Structure 1
Amino acid sequence: MPSAAPRPCSHPGCGVLVRDGTGRCPKHPKQSWSKKPAAAKRITGRPLQRLRAELFAREPLCRECVKLGLVKLATQRDHIVSLEEGGQDVESNVQPLCDEHHDTKSKAERTRGVRRAWAGYRGE
């Protein structure tokens, strides 16, 4: 029975050929995902829906659009400092945003997260 061709280890900078199909050599096993012990507690379900409704009743317009002199309804309850970056799920850390501004902000947060992850590989 034919086996798959050997491939280089997927760990950055490692070129060891792997033949078992895992993608990683024995020196660089893939870390299993686990929630960080210091991760902020997220609000979910009905309490979250109530908080969203209260936020939009209090501040119905996108905060970033208002800064630009635009009028656009907010559709997202956004954390000013993301939970991943140490923010808390408290009322003082949330803002109403439209989809466009929320997507832009989320993309920047994901980019910073990827950079943090890769910095661990490079030893920075």
Structure 2
Amino acid sequence: MYRSLEYGDTARVTKPSDSVEYRLGTVTDVRYSTPHTTHARRYTLRFPNGDERTYPATIVKRATRADDRAALEAALTKAAEAVRDACRIAHDYDADLSTGTASLLRRLVDLASLRLGLTLIPTNPARPHHRNQDGGDQ
């Protein structure tokens, strides 16, 4: 069943074209196809930096903070994999570069752990572990 977004709902642009559009926006205006319908034609979103932009309804999707968390987990996991691979290459290329890359990977793993409770294993970051609030593994 189709249900249009309403004022105050949070949403995201499906194909972001700049850094603002990657962020979660709040619906501030809805324009309908006709005065007597609930089928939205356009949405105006306000982003955290204060920008307001209007988009066709077809390129806006409902999103929540939980969606942000999932996206962050995926992005940090992908970044950890890339930095891990760079560490392996840097090890044979340059000792200083290897040390710096390993430090970057350690900081990335620590950030994921401290801010999201996500345990990235540096040797295999593609399989993150989630901690419960009491610190135990799920």
TM-score under structure 1 length normalisation: 0.26
TM-score under structure 2 length normalisation: 0.24
Higher strand proportion (structure 1 or 2)? 2
